[in-house]
Chains A and B, each alone.
Chain A
Amino acid sequence: MTNSITIFKREMISYFYSPIAYIVIAVFLLSSGYFFARILALSQQATLMYSLANTQVILSILAPVITMRLLSEEVKSGTIEMLMTAPVTDFEVVFGKFLAALCLYLVMLAPTLLYVVFLGWVGEPDMGPIISSYIGLALMGSMFVSVGLLMSALTRNQIVAGVLGIVTLVILFYLGFAVSGTEGWYVPVLQYVGTYDHWEPFTKGLVDTKDIIYYVSITVLCLFITIRTLESSKWR
């Protein structure tokens, strides 16, 4: 575990030495701030529900950008050899990198708390849905980051890893919409697999164990496959 924290610290240093953290945060704040302002002006309601509902697509794009270099670059530049010949386990490496990406994701979200402060200043927001939304954002983030990390383990090209992650998450996002209005046994299945139906309840103030289990289990699954991928790279 101490090794995971060591790796976490190194990845955080790396994030803020490179422009990537700043670019990702800037893009996110620009778009979320725009939506927040427009939606607030149109709806005249002191709520984050609509603007946060919108952030999911942006996060689907930005989370893989955060994670894309985590493992692919290690393999490409050969530093993986230095890393894996130090006394660390595959789990510690993957978990440390996961924590770093999740942390950057949360850092990226943190400034949106100012929107909440602003809402409290101009109106009387219902804090319940806001708190549940942030819980949902954190859970969703851990899933998005783990999917991105898995993609980063699958290829040594970080651009490919990023694109694969974005495509996967965007497809998962639209899966629920794509089948709505149609009928068949696959409709509930695809709606359950898709991300949107699990995110929406959080914005309304509902924290359902079903949705928590969905996010946590996909996170664990992706991290598990990532560890296995890292192990198997030795055998190829």
Chain B
Amino acid sequence: MIQVEHLSKRFGDKTAVDDISFRVDEGEILGFLGPNGAGKSTTMRILTGFLPATSGTARVAGYDVFTDSLNVRKQIGYLPENVPLYLDMRVNEYLTFRAQLKGVPRKDRRARIQEALEKCGVVEVQNQIVGTLSKGYRQRVGLADTMVHNPRILILDEPTIGLDPNQIRQVRSLIKELGKKHTILLSTHILPEVEMICGRVIIINNGKLVAMDTPGNLTSKLRGGATIHLEAKGPFRQIKAGLEGIPSVLSVKGEDESAAPSGTRTKTHRFVLETDKGRDVREEVFNAFVENKWVLLGMKKEAVTLEEVFHQITTREAEEAAGPLPPAEGPAPKGGIKETVSGLLSRVKSKGSRA
């Protein structure tokens, strides 16, 4: 649906987007992740034809964004950052104007606007002047505008910024809902958002693409293993030795509570297990407890969050400014970038273990 190849954008001598290649497939929700100023908005503006690229090509729904801009714009619904709206119009007037501009046929217009109003939850403010609406409502009016002509592709630049937690939740579920019928490219710097909504994630930093994968793969590749927290009752040393005996458990840290004065505490020991890549040891831990008749009070597996991935990738970039990543190679961006991602991730990992 969207193909971006070797896209670069320079403003004077500042490079905002640096040789980015990726693609978005039909029906996909792709998350565009990066710190502020990473080049997310610039990339989106190029895709919508608002800015021309310095070099490289981008195709949206098969049309080139530069030479076929009008056809591209017919296919997309775009929500810019900060949602600029005409503040002096009423909501339904504004949507009527936008629907006309986007070529919604007269006979469908009323129904399309009504549907957009309902889906975005702005029916009750449809007769209000946009300027009197709160940020959350304006955001939703902007979303209603992006979908009013039923475009194949939605490009949303930080759609949940500036909303309160309830509104964020509503907008997220709305985007998920829209994702069933539309291809969506959405940018954000809020990580849980990406984990919740997106099928695939692109991380960009300083204009460069640094990672592209599913949220799950990104987190599991970064550190294959997991951390397991245990609460247990029983003989501390034996339990510790027993846990250390389980294969692929790398380390066991424990707090011995048996020396604690009786009555004040429940004599619960806490253990933290670091485990090796790819294996879930919880079953073996449980069996060990059953065999030895120790008491297991609680067990919790903690996976690496996307937040950590993001942090490690983006800060590592800054640290190693002297030796940047090899750029994604060749005309097959998918394979090339995956290669880069795993290379990067292994480097991140090795760096972590060195430290």
- How many residue pairs link A and B with beta carbons under 8 A? The number is 67
**Which of A3, A18, A78, A80 is B101 in contact with, Cβ under 8 Å?**
A3
Q: Is the CB of A79 within 8 A of B86?
A: yes
> Please, which residues of chain A bring their CB within 8 A of the CB of B145?
82
Stretch at the interface among B24-32, B43-51, B187-195, B255-263: B43-51
- Choose the segment among A8-16, A29-37, A50-58, A127-135 that binds chain B (4+ C-beta atoms closer than 8 Å): A8-16
Q: How far is the CB of B320 from chain A (nearest CB, A)?
A: 33
Surface stretch bound by A, among B73-81, B118-126, B235-243, B328-336: B73-81
Question: Which among A9, A10, A79, A88 has the highest number of chain B CB atoms within 10 Å?
Answer: A10
Complex alpha-carbon distance, A17 and B129, angstroms: 10
B70 located at the interface, meaning its Cβ lies under 8 Å from any Cβ of chain A in the complex: yes
The answer to whether A86 and B101 have CB atoms under 8 Å apart is yes
- A72 → chain B closest CB, angstroms: 14
Chain B residue nearest to A2 (CB atoms) is: B100
CB distance from A219 to the nearest CB of B (A): 25
- Size band of the interface chain B makes with A: 20 to 34
Rounded to whole Å, the gap between the CB of B53 and the closest CB of chain A is 11
Assess the B84–A85 pair: CB atoms within 8 A.
no
Q: Does A26 contact B (CB under 8 A)?
A: no
Please indicate the chain A residues that have their CB under 8 angstroms from the CB of B70 in the complex.
87, 89
Contact with A along B67-91 (1 / 0, CB 8 A): 0001101101010101011111100
A3, B73: Cα distance in complex, Å:
14
Is the pair A6, B73 in contact by a Cβ cutoff of 8 Å? no
Contact of A81 among B50, B87, B88 (CB under 8 A): B50
Q: How far apart are the CA atoms of A156 and B50 in the complex, in Å?
A: 17
| Distance in Å: Cβ of A5 to nearest Cβ of chain B | 9
A235 interface hit (Cβ, 8 Å): yes
8 Å CB contact of B98 from A2, A80, A86, A89: A86
Q: Which residue of A lies closest to B97 (CB)?
A: A10
Q: Which of A166-186 contact B (CB under 8 A)?
A: none
| Complex Cα–Cα for A115 and B194 (A) | 67
**Residue A216 at the B interface, CB < 8 A?**
no
| CB-defined contacts of B76 to chain A, threshold 8 Å | 85
Assess the B73–A17 pair: CB atoms within 8 A: no
Q: How far is the CA of A212 from the CA of B46 in the complex (A)?
A: 43
Which single residue of chain B is at the shortest CB-CB distance from A88? Answer: B101
- B307 sits at the interface (CB 8 A): no
Establish whether residues A82 and B49, one from each chain, have CB atoms under 8 Å apart when the complex forms.
no
| Chain A residues numbered 62-83 whose CB sits less than 8 Å from any CB in chain B | 77-83
Smallest CB separation, B98 vs chain A (Å): 7
In the bound complex, do residue A87 and residue B80 qualify as a contact, i.e. CB atoms below 8 Å apart?
Answer: no
* Residues A18 and B85 in contact, CB atoms below 8 Å apart: no
The answer to whether A78 and B84 have CB atoms under 8 Å apart is yes
B102 within 8 A of A: yes
The distance from the CB of A132 to the nearest CB of chain B, in whole angstroms, is 38
**In the bound complex, do residue A13 and residue B89 qualify as a contact, i.e. CB atoms below 8 Å apart?**
yes
B102 and A87 contacting across the interface, CB-CB below 8 Å: yes
| A79 in complex: contacting residue of B49, B51, B84, B101, CB < 8 Å | B84
| Residues of the A chain whose Cβ atoms lie less than 8 Å from the Cβ of B103 | 87
Closest-by-CB residue of A relative to B12 is A236
Counting from the closest, the 6 A-B pairs by CB-CB distance are A78-B84, A87-B73, A6-B100, A85-B48, A79-B84, A87-B74
Listed by A's residue number, 22 A-B pairs whose Cβ atoms lie within 8 Å are A7-B101, A9-B97, A10-B89, A13-B89, A14-B86, A17-B88, A17-B89, A17-B129, A77-B87, A78-B84, A81-B84, A82-B78, A82-B145, A85-B49, A85-B76, A85-B78, A85-B80, A86-B98, A87-B70, A87-B102, A88-B101, A235-B52
A residues with CB within 8 A of B = 2-3, 6-7, 9-10, 13-14, 17-18, 77-89, 234-235
